[in-house]
Amino acid sequence: MEAKTLIKRCASYKAKLTLFENYLQTVESCDSLSRLQINELNVRLSKIEEIYTDFDSIQCDIENSMEIPDEQYKEREAFETKYFGTVARARDLLAPAAGVVGSARSGTGSCCTALEGGPKLALPTIHLPSFSGQYHDWLEFRDTFSSLIHLDKSIPNINKFHYLRAALKDSAAVVIQSLEFSSDNYEVAWELLCDRYNNKRSLVNNHIQAIFNLEQLAKESSKSLRNLIDTVNRNLRALKKLNLPTEHWDILLIQIISNKLDTDTSVKWESYRNKLKELPTLKIFNDFLKDRADFLETMDNAHKKRRSSDTTHVRHKTYVANASSPPVRKYACPYCKGTHALYVCQKFKSLSLGTRLDTAKVLKLCLNCLRQGHADDACKFGPCRSCGLRRNSLLHEHAAPAPSSPVPSTSNVMLHALPQPGVDGQPPSPPQDIALSTIQNNCVLLSTALIHVTDINGDCHKIRAMLDSGSTSSFLTETLCAKLKLPTSSTSTVVEGLNSQISCLTKRCDVLISSLLNNYSESVSCLVVPRITQLLPTTKVDYTILNIPPHITLADPNFYIPAPIDMLLGADIFWTILGSQNISLGKNKPTLNKSKLGFLISGPVPTQHTKFINTVHCNHLTLQNNEDQLYNQLSKFFELETVTTHKQISKEELECEQSFIENTIRLPDGRFEVTIPLKDSPDKLGDSYEQALSRFLSLERRFKREPHFKEQYCNFIKEYISLNHMSLNESPGNDAHTYILPHHGVLRDSSLSTKLRVVFDASAVTTSGVSFNQLQMVGATVQDDLISILIRMRQHRFLVTADVEKMYRMVNVKPSQQTLQQILWRFEPHEQLRQYKLHTVTYGTASAPYLATRCLTQLGNECADQTVSEVILHDFYCTVREW
């Protein structure tokens, strides 16, 4: 059927609705309705209710035939608004009449009705809930919708279907999307929805997962504690409704929740629990958290009132002006003894830079604020505005002597700012040499983006990164590296910047970055630097003049606000991230460039007002002065040529050697079986299970996000088990001494041999504050140093190099000590979590390098062939490395 014919048929339905609306207005104008009018209105209403299904079917055909059906959507919206409003008004008119008829039929007199009738309270409107397909919302939605709509027999099915479609969103709406909108299909739609979401297993898993994935509280606050309590109770109620025995879970739940508490609350809970004679119940724990939240809320309110009252007390001071009084001598210049501060002393400023610096040191002044009485590191003033170091601008290498008689002009003026009086007892701010300009300047925006970075536990952190195609490497700040707790590798990289400025960097780490807007992620190798740049942009930008299109999603929505830079993404990844689309915002305005992180904005921003004239910085490099760089380069020569001498063996190293000689045996297959050398008793170890559990659950969350990572990790564990390098601990509760190693994986696609490296953390402290590594003796270095091996290597014409695969794991550990190196593992989250014992020397333990190399040395000593023995003893080199 053609679209024109369909539109004409829709028009006829609209005309019928209009006629019914006109009739309804006539009826509404009557003071009271006769029985005949009531019957007529009933008949008309039943007829008008029948047209909606036909209208909906025809309107759908029209919309499907249009390439751009926006106008038809508006037509549908207008018709439905008018239709449902008119039907509701008609039913509202018929409702009192139905009540009168019903009461007459029941034999109840009108007098009784009048006596029972009285002023009624206006109850609040009950809004229908919405459901987007999340399992944790299903039970609440099902019960509410059933009570208000589904079980109400007075509501026609076609209206119920309309209410149901309006309440469903996202994936839930897709479940019934294919059904035709009709009265008969309502029951079908409701059954489809119930079949889809009345899945007990999925509901139970979802609510239990919500309890396990409670957010870790960073600091103590009433709001976060109440949110924690509400989340747990909400999921427990849902689980109880699903007939699960939640009343027997108290101990487990208390342990899970207490691990999510902040440090202060956790300490107070432990103190409170120790006073209890019996094991606490969940109700006791809930009451404790509620009391704690009430206390914190009370304290917060008290602090707010105190701050409010403090602001209302304004101290008034009276000043007496006396023209004949001499000025008060507030400052005493330590250089010329004048009545002014040093930083305004013209005699001091006329000195050369070197002389000023020497003078400040002789006078024992703080080199940051040029005041006496404190050291540089204790100074409360900010750093130099030119270089960012804690060095006064007058001692900065680019500082110039103040001009003796500045001559102002109409366009540019050099002003000497007077010191401002101190506030609340603080010393006055130093004067500044300010260059004012009223000509038009351009502030240039550099490309920045908000991204996610993953820490060692697999958790994501939002940071701000700068994208720079002019940098050949990516960089990461030391602060962020420490926060993420990422392992670093040693490097010796010289970074050269503008004007041949050079800096040497010694650390490198691998970071997994991901987009906030899509599924893009990438592993980036970054050099670690103390600081990347100053705040970017250098001044706040008026973004309203840029006229950015509203449909554009920016990679950094707050690009116009000065903020720190945590990471720099260089040309090694810049062109991978950048897309092909770019949008110019106009002349002398920045450009929008599409990328996998969102649209990047960069370029000039016009400003037409008085501004500071700023220095241009090379943002992505840390600079060193030439003297330090020259010294570092020269020192490498004598460090390289330095001959190492054998140091005196310590008492601990002798004990470690004696332990190896007395306890090491050879197994029938020729392998060594060693004893881990301990300097203290394992009795000092506390409980290590909880920390290992927390780290493993974090690892499982990463498995869920990265299936490829999980596959490689599972293959590694399977290989470990198949080689008999670890086995299941059948009776973990019977072990005399136990230590469970937390473990995580580091993925590096660029590695030629091992893409995944599983790291065992024997430095994780137990509840007693002692780790397994702290109990071990490290042992002496028994292999030749690398310099000696490299020098001897040059004597040979041909060289053959090889790698001992799984060298550490070729050495077995005494069975009685294998319980000290256990791990938690399961292949799937629904499986039971089990403890496995590691049978071999494990990398990550303090004594592992010594035990492995000492076994190698023992092989060399026992070898009958002198040539082979010399190679084993002097030409093998074992490194402790991450890759």
Q: What is the pLDDT of residues 700-714, one digit of tens each?
A: 999 999 999 999 999
What does the DSSP assignment read for 178-225? TS--SSTHHHHHHHHHHHHH--HHHHHHHHHHHHHTPPPP-S--HHHH
Please indicate whether residue 544 or residue 422 has the higher confidence score (pLDDT): 544
Q: What is the pLDDT of residues 145-170, one digit of tens each?
A: 877 787 777 788 888 887 888 888 87
Mean pLDDT over all residues of the chain? 77
Q: What is the pLDDT of residues 111-147, one digit of tens each?
A: 333 334 444 444 556 667 788 777 777 777 877 887 7
From 348-362, 456-470, 491-505, 604-618, the region with the lowest mean pLDDT: 604-618
pLDDT band at 105 (very low <50, low <70, confident <90, very high): very low
If you average pLDDT over each of 81-95, 239-253, 327-341, which comes out highest?
81-95
From 484-493, 697-706, 835-844, the region with the lowest mean pLDDT: 484-493
At residue 157, the pLDDT reads 81
Two tokens, residue 482? 């420490």
Q: Are 59 and 80 in contact (CB under 8 A)?
A: no
Average pLDDT over residues 849-878: 86
Average pLDDT over residues 382-404: 60
Q: Percent of the chain having pLDDT more than 70?
A: 80
At residue 107, the pLDDT reads 40
Q: What is the pLDDT of residues 491-513, one digit of tens each?
A: 878 887 776 677 788 889 999 99
For 416-433, letters b (16+ CB in 10 Å) and e give eeebeeeeeeeeebbbeb
Cα distance between residue 664 and residue 855, in whole Å: 9
At residue 422, the pLDDT reads 40
At residue 476, the pLDDT reads 93
Q: What is the pLDDT of residues 61-103, one digit of tens each?
A: 787 777 777 777 788 888 888 888 888 888 888 776 554 434 4
At residue 389, the pLDDT reads 66
Q: Kind and range of the H or E element at 604? A: strand 598-607
Cα distance between residue 540 and residue 122, in whole Å: 52
Cα distance between residue 221 and residue 863, in whole Å: 67
Cα distance between residue 501 and residue 712, in whole Å: 43
Residue with tokens 């908000």: 450
Q: What is the pLDDT of residues 788-822, one digit of tens each?
A: 788 888 888 888 887 778 888 999 999 999 999 99
Residue 158 phi/psi, 5-degree rounding, is: -65, -35
From 97-111, 201-215, 711-725, the region with the lowest mean pLDDT: 97-111
Q: What is the pLDDT of residues 636-684, one digit of tens each?
A: 766 666 655 556 778 888 999 999 999 999 999 989 999 999 998 999 9
At residue 596, the pLDDT reads 92
How far from each other are the two terminal CA atoms of the chain, in whole angstroms?
Answer: 70
Cα distance between residue 9 and residue 55, in whole Å: 8
At residue 639, the pLDDT reads 66
Under 8 Å CB-to-CB from 373, ≥6 apart: which residues? Answer: 366
Q: Kind and range of the H or E element at 493? A: strand 488-496
Two tokens, residue 726? 């670890």
* Torsion sign across C-alpha atoms 292, 294, 298, 301: positive
Please indicate whether residue 430 or residue 498 has the higher confidence score (pLDDT): 498
Task: Give strand pairing partners of 758.
Answer: 745
Please indicate whether residue 309 or residue 715 has the higher confidence score (pLDDT): 715
Residue 44 has pLDDT above 80, yes or no: yes
Q: pTM of the entire structure?
A: 0.34
Please indicate whether residue 859 or residue 388 has the higher confidence score (pLDDT): 859
Cα distance between residue 733 and residue 751, in whole Å: 40
Report the relative pairing of strands 448-454 and 502-515 from DSSP bridges: antiparallel
Q: What is the pLDDT of residues 559-601, one digit of tens each?
A: 988 899 999 999 889 999 998 888 888 888 899 999 999 999 9
Cα distance between residue 854 and residue 847, in whole Å: 11
Please indicate whether residue 748 or residue 322 has the higher confidence score (pLDDT): 748
At residue 400, the pLDDT reads 42
Residue with tokens 């502030």: 443
At residue 592, the pLDDT reads 92
At residue 466, the pLDDT reads 93
At residue 418, the pLDDT reads 35
* Torsion sign across C-alpha atoms 56, 62, 66, 70: negative
CA 573 to chain centre: 21
